[in-house]
Copies of this chain bind each other. A is one copy, B any other.
Amino acid sequence: MTVTLADVAARAQVSPATVSRVLNGNYPVAASTRERVLKAVDELDYVLNGPASALAAATSDLVGILVNDIADPFFGIMASAIQSEIGGPGGRAGGERLAVVCNTGGSPERELTYLTLLQRQRAAAVVLTGGAVENEPHAAAVAAKLTKLTDAGTRVVLCGRPPAPDTGAIALTFDNRGGGQRLTEHLIGLGHRRLGYIAGPEERTTTRHRLEGHRAALAAAGIEEDPRWTVWGRYDRQAGYEATLELLRRDPSLTAVVAANDSVALGACAALRESGLRIPEDVSVAGFDDLPFSVDAVPALTTVRLPLAEAGARAGRIAMGREEPPPGGIATVGGELMVRGSSGGPRG
């Protein structure tokens, strides 16, 4: 049998109410009584029953963080930043909040399942990171769920994800389109005219926005795009490797490869090298995100830096109600072009 509040109360010779108040520190208790209670708590090794407490108080100290892929540093960095802003003081009982990271694996169903689970647990806040899936029924289902969450008083923040209108969710959106555009403009400025593009999973907003930026830059420069120049794949190294091989097969005259993100770019580099091509002399490569390892690639990766940690921290603070949400509930976070060794003028 576990120790309950009542046991502590008995031992300290006070009522359960008093013990609760000592533990929560939200009601005046005489110092001597408090001490007696704390002593009893200590002696009995009492641990509060979370569910009971949450039930009675109708609140919980859970904060959910949804990520697409926990093994990907892109999400890890954001999650870490969010969590660092949540762990601290601010809530009930001295304010330790349990920040939980939920890995959806990019699956819409799991996303919904986790949202329901968090709703069940009456989470204090939920932060959704990364791109959304562009699938009408699913998007509607998520929007409905988010609305219900915000209605129930749960603060919902989207970090690196497009706004969800009319759901009450605060959005911190990455300017993927603008970043993609500037990146390709840079390449075009170097003289490239034949650019391959390795896109991410087709149904993701992030994928679409980055690609749109790329195409906008192409269009602005009057470059007509060849459909063979775009290949779709996952957001990982392996996909980049394979896609690059495919790109090379389709059109060996490409002088640059733009990847959906840094991991993909790394795979692209590997494929190019194995094909006997030099970077950037033969082919330039560009990534996106500027993850920590990108600067260590050889040559270092030209990419777009997204302030993942900063955005995550801000999302965390907003989720905790410690920072004002942006006006209109929407803020756009820009990316910064990082020109490094992997991009140069085209050969010849």
- Give complex CA distance A127, B277 in Å: 45
Residues of chain B within 8 A (CB-CB) of A119 are: 47
Residues of chain B within 8 A (CB-CB) of A267 are: 296
> Is the pair A122, B50 in contact by a Cβ cutoff of 8 Å?
yes
For chain A, residues 56 to 83, give those with C-beta under 8 angstroms from any C-beta of chain B.
Answer: 60, 69-73, 75-77, 79-80, 83
- Give complex CA distance A304, B70 in Å: 22
Determine the main DSSP class of A at the interface with B. helix
A221 at the interface (CB under 8 A from B): no
> Is the pair B70, A120 in contact by a Cβ cutoff of 8 Å?
no
Residues of chain B within 8 A (CB-CB) of A101 are: 70, 79, 100-103
Given A120-B49, A296-B267, also A80-B76 (CB < 8 A): no
- Give complex CA distance A69, B100 in Å: 14
Among A53, A100, A114, max chain B CB count under 10 A is at: A100
A55 at the interface (CB under 8 A from B): yes
- Give complex CA distance A2, B295 in Å: 51
Residues of chain B within 8 A (CB-CB) of A96 are: 113, 117
> Is the pair A55, B51 in contact by a Cβ cutoff of 8 Å?
yes
Residues of chain B within 8 A (CB-CB) of A296 are: 237, 266-267, 269-270, 297
16 pairs from A and B in contact (CB 8 Å cutoff) = A47-B116, A47-B119, A47-B148, A49-B122, A50-B54, A51-B60, A51-B122, A70-B70, A70-B79, A71-B79, A79-B101, A80-B103, A84-B105, A98-B114, A101-B101, A298-B298
